[in-house]
Amino acid sequence: MKTTINSTFSFLSLAIFAAITTSSCGGGSESTDSKKNDSLSKNVSANEIRYIKIDDATNILPAWSTENVLVYHDIGEPDDLHPTNGMSSSRSEIFGYTQVYVIGTDYQNLTIRPIAVKALPIISPNELEYTYELRNDIKFDDGSVISVDDIIFTFKANKCQLTNNPQAKSYLDNMVEIKADPAKPGFFTVVMREKYIQNITFLADYPVMQRAFFDKKNVLANYTFAQFCDPNFKADKQKDLADWAAEFNSAKFSRDLAFQNGAGPYKVEKWDAGQSLTLVRKNNHWSKDSKNVYETSFPDKIIFKINKDANSQILEFKSQTLDVSTTLSTKTLLELQKDANFIANYNSRFTDTYNYGYIAMNMKPDGIKHKKIFVDKKVRRAMALLTPLDNINKVMNKGMNKRTVGPVSYLKKDYNSDLKLIPFDIEAAKKLLDEAGWKDTDGDNIRDKMVDGQKVKMEFNMNYMTTQVEWKNTAEMIAEQMYKAGVKANLNPIDFSVLVETARNHDFDMMLASWAGNFAPEDYTQLWHTSAWASKGSNYTGFGNAESDALIDSIKFTIDDAKRIPFVKKFQEIVYDEQPYIFMYSSLRRNVIHKRFGNQEMYFERPGVWLSSLKLLSNSGASVKASSVY
């Protein structure tokens, strides 16, 4: 699972939170406004629903803006816009409109779709070679058609040991080579080491880069995939490669808009840090005549506007300053849904996601800056017992989010339903802390213990993101209950980029964050394998041992669900027992779209709404129904 667009795909049943009447395909709508308004927050279970389609507004209201600019509400900005080195979900969402991928998600059908290639691959009998044919109509900004050379460069750049993308490298471990077919221009074959659950879908994680733009001297052509796969290859000793990597990893490709380059229909026009990021539609783009819903680009501009304050968000929606959001808090959207003008101007729905919130604990601290508080699993379980998740859910989400016990979504067939939710129980937590040797020996109401010859207090920093006030409120509620058991959590609000950096460097005690998942079998290497701790990947806590690593390695190479799912369930048992995270909730996506735009569809997969397909309605636009399900 990744904080960027994860590339695993599968079919499964879905439960949604929405105000709709179900049908097998199309049809269905609310019969009256009062029924619609009363049912907006209700949980409707529909096993065959793939997405929600809301028909165009029947009337164009005078107060609606006629400017073909879509303002999208966001709560955080991208960590950067580097083509390989970033990892925030905002970055991935922006790349959906500025970049092109080999393949991607078909949000309507919950499967994969070809993008830069004409079709999904021809697979060799041994299931290790995947042959694709590139489209010949996709062009970069200078008019150059995407070539096999660009595909090979893209994946060499990502594989190169000197590229600063540890969060992405594990997904490329199984890729051995990409070969061009000299007899068939436009054809290339991806060669894999072993059968792997993501031998096709991993390609959806990496935007195709123009070799001539990012490697003008064609340095990477001097090196092979075999060298980049070899852990003994001394990449840093190759001067030309080191010089290329130093430039490629530099800030200019992350922040300088003059060095942003992609084949998508939009380009970044302006980035006001902390305020907004503006995409402008390119003139005469190769996709301008496309009928593919994912290749349309109707808005002239898409402005990602950052607003983290709930009261300000409410005011901006009431004043119709914002057009779309998928990141309002549940509490904020429920408040807006009480307003008649909001209902008149916007469509809004709650939909399930595969995301989950978590509280991570540093299991392998240095013992100096970060004390050895969470090295004992009894202590980590005590922290879970001290976290009032049901009450937090009631206060923050009106009880709408569903608790989860581990890293696998309850929507998936490999979810381990035998694992029980951990209750809020202060007395049980106290008992475990006593057993672990943490007691208040000096009467200051803070537990302590002799660790490595020094008296250590059970006091630590709890990091959380500043993107939404709900993170702060959640941290405060947790700290209040922990203090009742002699545990002192000092609240430490930090920016998202800082939180990620400190986590990757294992420079934290406890942190609140979330992972964005999807609907398919997963490779757990990035988040849970011990190698991802050593390489400063996304195993922030230091979780893992030989048994869990062996299970993770088996899971990603076992194609047969009947054999793979028991491995996944056993893996969940180990995570549950070791308690590296306090698992919180599988969150709802809060979808809001202004009715001045047509073509409205809401998806269960990220990003939830495909912004470029939203088309400004004119007075001649007319339609009938409120929503359908597919």
Tokens linked to 457:
């207090």
Each residue of 211-225: pLDDT tens digit?
999 999 999 999 999
Rg (CA), the chain: 25
What is the number of other CB atoms lying within 10 angstroms of the CB of residue 125? 6
Total residues belonging to the chain: 630
Which structure tokens are listed for 480? 């209040």
Q: What single-letter amino acid sits at 534?
A: A
- Give alpha helix (H) positions in 132-287: 148-159, 166-169, 211-214, 225-229, 239-248, 252-255
Nearest CA to 360 among 257, 524, 503, 230? 503
Higher pLDDT, 413 or 13: 413
List b or e across 241-269, with b for residues whose CB sees 16 or more CB atoms inside 10 angstroms. beebbeebbeeebbeeeeebbbbbbbbbe
H or E element, residue 430: helix 426-435
Q: Please name the helix (run of DSSP H) or strand (run of DSSP E) that holds residue 15, with its range, or none.
A: strand 15-17
Average pLDDT score, the chain: 89
Rounded to whole angstroms, the maximal C-alpha distance in the chain is: 80
CB 416 within 8 A of CB 406: yes
Phi and psi angles of residue 588, each rounded to the nearest 5 degrees, phi first = -90, 145
Cα first-last separation, the chain: 26
Residue 479 in tokens: 């700290």
CB 382 within 8 A of CB 436: yes
> How far is CA 85 from its chain centroid?
15
Residue type, 600: Q
- H/E stretch holding 328 reads none
Residue 624 scores a pLDDT above 60: no
**Tokens matching residue 273:** 């840090």
Q: What is the pLDDT of residues 25-66, one digit of tens each?
A: 232 233 233 334 334 544 332 234 778 999 999 899 999 999
* Contact indicator for 496, 467 with CB cutoff of 8 Å: yes
List, in sequence order, every residue forming a beta bridge with 360; answer none if it has no partner.
511, 581
In terms of Cα–Cα distance, which of 105, 108, 122 is closest to 8? 105
**How many CB atoms neighbour CB 443 within 10 A?**
6
Give the pLDDT score at 354.
85
How far is 527 from 595, CA to CA, in rounded Å? 39
Task: List the domains of the chain with CATH numbers.
Answer: 15-75+307-353+587-629 (3.40.190), 89-259 (3.90.76.10), 356-586 (3.10.105.10)
Mean pLDDT for the stretch of residues 98-118: 94
Give the 3-state secondary structure of residue 537: coil
Q: Looking at residues 461-485, what average pLDDT do you find?
A: 94
Average pLDDT over residues 525-535: 94
Residue 606, pLDDT score: 86
In sequence order, which residues have a C-beta less than 8 Å from that of residue 289 and are 6 or more positions away? Answer: none
Mean pLDDT, range 515-522, rounded to an integer: 82
Placement of tokens 């998202």 in the chain: 496
E strand residue ranges, 206-339: 266-272, 276-281, 301-306, 324-325
Tell me the per-residue pLDDT of 406-427, one tens digit each, with 9 for 90 and over: 999 988 889 999 999 999 999 9
Position 265 scores a pLDDT of 98
Beta strand 459-465 pairing with 488-494: parallel
State whether the Cα torsion 104-107-108-111 is positive or negative.
positive
Question: Per-residue confidence at 619, pLDDT binned at 50, 70, 90?
Answer: low
Does the bond joining 185 to the residue before it have cis omega, within 30 degrees of 0? no
Residue 242: name the closest of 160, 177, 176, 149 by CA.
Answer: 160
Cα torsion through 28, 33, 37, 40, rounded to 10: 10
State yes or no: pLDDT of 10 exceeds 50: no
CA dist 590 and 358 (Å) reads 19
CA distances from 411 to 16, 310, 608 (A): 10, 29, 17
Least confident window among 103-112, 472-481, 484-493: 103-112
Distance CA 588, CA 401 (A): 6
Whether the bond between 166 and the residue before it is cis, its omega within 30 degrees of 0, is no
205 contacts 4 by C-beta, under 8 angstroms: yes
Residue-wise pLDDT for 142-165, tens only, equals: 999 999 999 999 999 999 999 999
Q: What are phi and psi of 389, to 5 degrees?
A: -65, -40
Q: Is 361 helix (H, G, I), strand (E, B) or coil?
A: strand
φ and ψ at 381, to 5 degrees?
A: -65, -35
pLDDT confidence of residue 36: 41
Q: Round to whole Å and give the CA distance between 491 and 539.
A: 22
Q: Which helix (H) or strand (E) holds 188?
A: strand 187-192
Residue that wins the pLDDT comparison between 619 and 60: 60
**pLDDT band per the 50, 70, 90 thresholds, residue 245:** very high
| SS (HEC) of 442-465 | CCCCCCEEEECCEEEECEEEEEEE
pLDDT on residue 628 = 59
Tokens, residue 598: 């047509």
CA distance 383 to 433: 9
The predicted structure's pLDDT at residue 623 = 39
Residues 598, 56 contacting (CB under 8 angstroms) = yes
The burial of 417, by beta-carbon neighbours within 10 Å (0-12 exposed, 13-18 middle, 19 or more buried), is given as exposed
Contact 542, 364 (CB under 8 A): yes
Q: Is the pLDDT of residue 621 over 90?
A: no
Q: How many helices (H) and strands (E) does the chain have?
A: 20, 29
Half-sphere exposure of 276 (CA within 13 A, CB side): 14
Helix (H, G, I), strand (E, B) or coil at 93: helix
Contact 85, 248 (CB under 8 A): no
